[in-house]
């Protein structure tokens, strides 16, 4: 396992670098073939490479991503290594160790003589930037699926049974330029319009429901003595329910500006629906039973604010269990690490879940 993790981590793969992603896809396909004894394949979807093993439309889909947030060259200061129990390096926790765990789980089943003909693996390369190119191939892979296991990292060892849905908005406020000293009244101030919108958003969140509405990036103006004719704002929305996402979406789209001549242009909207508890409850119950049978520590679950491709599969109505990847810490951070000793345990846990799912132990 250590050698496989080292190979993947040492093959740097930032989402924005298509050549690097194509290279790691080839590396991962070869590694998958070696682990599982039958060929994996590299496909391209909307310009983005993906790795697939098993049927195109599996009953049990193992889902992960090969891309990371780390630029090429990060290895020079964050090398891939094993120190005591900690595997380190860019992307080791999110989520290259998890990919190796998935391969090890299927390998365990093959070694035991289990029929894994209905099991498929899909590894994408654009998850960190929203899975724009890979959404279609993910949706296609779900045609016959009865369960999806997602190998995003755990949260302190806990599996992720709920994820917030995400909405992203890029909003342009169009005004009219004028000289700020000579005749500002002839202008339409886009900055003022953006500020009014930002203030309105502060009443759109719902603390009790866990809904957050956060203005993030804001750019406006051209020179210090010109009434701004354009302002651009990015809005981040997170919610536990689809209903809350839709409520905030309505707030965004029905907002009225303060100046009758100002114009608002909205790009974006609801992105990933929530992964709700109902989508993961049965699979988590199976995972708890498997953990008990294996003599592992009691399995915990948690709800997290970040989204993953598991949000997409759950929204498609497929039972989905997330967070089956590495035990460790530091996603997207310099101190990122994954526990080596936990990898074999999580591989065995995953193998047991797959076997139970193949035996039809999931409630429809």
What pLDDT, in 10s, does the model give residues 304-344?
999 999 999 999 999 999 999 999 999 999 999 999 999 99
CB-CB contact of 154 with 67 (8 Å): no
Provide the phi-psi class of 130: left if phi over 0, else alpha when psi is between -120 and 50, else beta: left
165 C-beta neighbours (distance < 10 Å), count: 25
Same domain, 103 and 227: no
DSSP 8-state symbol, 73: T
Q: Mean pLDDT of all residues in the chain?
A: 96
Which residues share a beta bridge with 64? 123
The CATH number of residue 176's host domain is 3.30.70.360
Tokens of 216: 């993030």
pLDDT at residue 56, as a whole number: 96
Q: Is residue 21 part of a domain?
A: yes
DSSP 8-state symbol, 350: H
Helix (H, G, I), strand (E, B) or coil at 339: strand
pLDDT tops 60 at residue 94: yes
Same domain, 210 and 287: no
Same domain, 146 and 291: yes
Q: What is the pLDDT of residues 72-88, one digit of tens each?
A: 999 999 999 999 999 99
Q: What is the pLDDT of residues 128-137, one digit of tens each?
A: 999 999 999 9
Tokens of 79: 């090398």
Q: Is residue 363 part of a domain?
A: no
CA 74 to chain centre: 21
- Among residues 240, 256, 272, the one where a domain terminates is 272
pLDDT at residue 349, as a whole number: 98
CA 350 to chain centre: 19
- Among residues 227, 243, 272, the one where a domain terminates is 272
User: How far, in Å, CA of 61 to CA of 121, rounded?
Assistant: 6
Same domain, 73 and 109: yes
Rounded to 5°, angle at Cα 34 from 33 and 38: 40
User: How far, in Å, CA of 258 to CA of 249, rounded?
Assistant: 20
Q: Is residue 281 part of a domain?
A: yes
- Among residues 272, 306, 321, the one where a domain terminates is 272
Q: Is residue 117 part of a domain?
A: yes
Same domain, 13 and 34: yes
Average pLDDT over residues 48-69: 97
pLDDT at residue 360, as a whole number: 81
CA 124 to chain centre: 11
114 or 362: whose pLDDT is higher?
114
CB-CB contact of 10 with 89 (8 Å): yes
DSSP 8-state symbol, 308: -
Same domain, 253 and 304: no
pLDDT tops 80 at residue 361: no
Same domain, 159 and 169: no
285 C-beta neighbours (distance < 10 Å), count: 15
Same domain, 296 and 323: yes
pLDDT tops 70 at residue 275: yes
pLDDT tops 80 at residue 9: yes
Counted residue by residue, the chain has a size of 364
pLDDT tops 60 at residue 364: no
The CATH number of residue 16's host domain is 3.40.630.10
250 or 360: whose pLDDT is higher?
250
Q: What is the pLDDT of residues 229-240, one digit of tens each?
A: 999 999 999 999
Q: Within 13 Å of residue 57, how many CA atoms lie on the same side as its CB?
A: 5
Q: Is residue 189 part of a domain?
A: yes
Q: Is residue 140 part of a domain?
A: yes
> Whole-model pTM?
0.89
H helical segments located in the chain:
2-10, 18-36, 97-111, 135-141, 190-201, 242-254, 277-294, 309-315, 341-358
Q: Which helix (DSSP H) or strand (DSSP E) does residue 90 occupy?
A: none
Q: Is residue 364 part of a domain?
A: no
DSSP annotation string for 108-173: HHHHTT---TTEEEEEES-GGGT-TTTHHHHHHHTTT-SEEEE-PPPBTTBEEEEE-EEEEEEEEE
Spatial CA neighbour of 312 closest among 72, 148, 105, 114: 148
User: Whole domain around residue 150: which residue ranges?
Assistant: 2-163+274-358
pLDDT band at 291 (very low <50, low <70, confident <90, very high): very high
Sign of CA pseudo-dihedral 100, 101, 107, 111: positive
Which residues, 6 or more positions from 87, have their beta carbon under 8 angstroms from its beta carbon?
2, 5, 9, 80, 81, 97, 328, 337, 338, 339, 340
CB-CB contact of 202 with 234 (8 Å): no
Same domain, 303 and 242: no
Average pLDDT over residues 200-227: 97
Q: What is the pLDDT of residues 14-48, one digit of tens each?
A: 999 999 999 999 999 999 999 999 999 999 999 99
Same domain, 185 and 236: yes
pLDDT at residue 224, as a whole number: 96
Same domain, 173 and 183: yes
How many domains does the chain contain in total? 2
Same domain, 304 and 156: yes
pLDDT tops 60 at residue 198: yes
pLDDT tops 90 at residue 362: no
Helices (H) and strands (E) counted in the chain, each on its own, are 9, 18
pLDDT at residue 363, as a whole number: 63
User: How far, in Å, CA of 166 to CA of 245, rounded?
Assistant: 8
Average pLDDT over residues 144-160: 97
Q: Is residue 95 part of a domain?
A: yes
CB-CB contact of 227 with 177 (8 Å): yes
């Amino acid at each position: 396992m250590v050698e496989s993790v080292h190979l993947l981590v040492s093959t740097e793969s930032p989402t924005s670098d298509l050549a690097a992603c194509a290279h790691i896809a080839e590396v991962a396909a070869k590694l998958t073939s070696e682990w599982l004894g039958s060929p994996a394949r590299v496909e391209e979807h909307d310009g983005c490479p993906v790795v697939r093993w098993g049927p195109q439309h599996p009953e049990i889909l193992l889902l992960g991503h090969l891309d990371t947030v780390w630029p090429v060259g990060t290895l020079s200061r964050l090398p891939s290594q094993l120190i005591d129990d900690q595997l380190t390096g860019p992307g080791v926790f999110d989520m290259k160790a998890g990919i190796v765990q998935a391969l090890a789980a299927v390998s365990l089943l093959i070694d035991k003589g289990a029929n894994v003909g209905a099991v498929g693996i899909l590894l994408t390369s654009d998850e960190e930037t929203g899975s724009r190119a890979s959404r279609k191939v993910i949706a296609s892979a779900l045609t016959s699926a009865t369960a999806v296991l997602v190998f995003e990292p755990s949260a302190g060892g806990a599996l992720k049974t709920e994820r917030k849905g995400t909405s992203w908005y890029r909003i342009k406020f169009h005004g009219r330029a004028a000289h700020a000293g000579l005749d500002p009244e002839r202008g339409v101030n886009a900055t003022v319009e953006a500020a009014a919108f930002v203030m309105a958003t502060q009443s759109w969140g719902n603390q009790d429901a866990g809904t957050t509405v956060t203005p993030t990036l804001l750019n406006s103006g051209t020179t210090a003595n010109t009434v701004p004719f354009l302002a651009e704002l990015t809005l981040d929305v997170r919610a536990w329910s689809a209903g809350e996402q839709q409520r905030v979406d309505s707030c965004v789209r029905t907002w009225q500006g303060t100046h009758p001549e100002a114009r608002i242009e909205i790009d974006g909207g609801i992105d990933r629906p929530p992964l709700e508890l109902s989508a993961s409850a049965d699979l988590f119950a199976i995972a708890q039973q498997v953990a008990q049978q294996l003599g592992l520590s009691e399995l915990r679950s948690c709800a997290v604010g970040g989204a993953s491709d598991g949000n997409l599969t759950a929204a498609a109505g497929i039972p989905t269990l997330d967070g089956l990847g590495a035990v460790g810490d530091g996603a997207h951070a310099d101190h990122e690490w994954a526990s080596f000793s936990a990898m074999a345990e999580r591989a065995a846990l995953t193998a047991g879940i797959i076997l139970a799912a193949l035996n039809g132990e999931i409630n429809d």
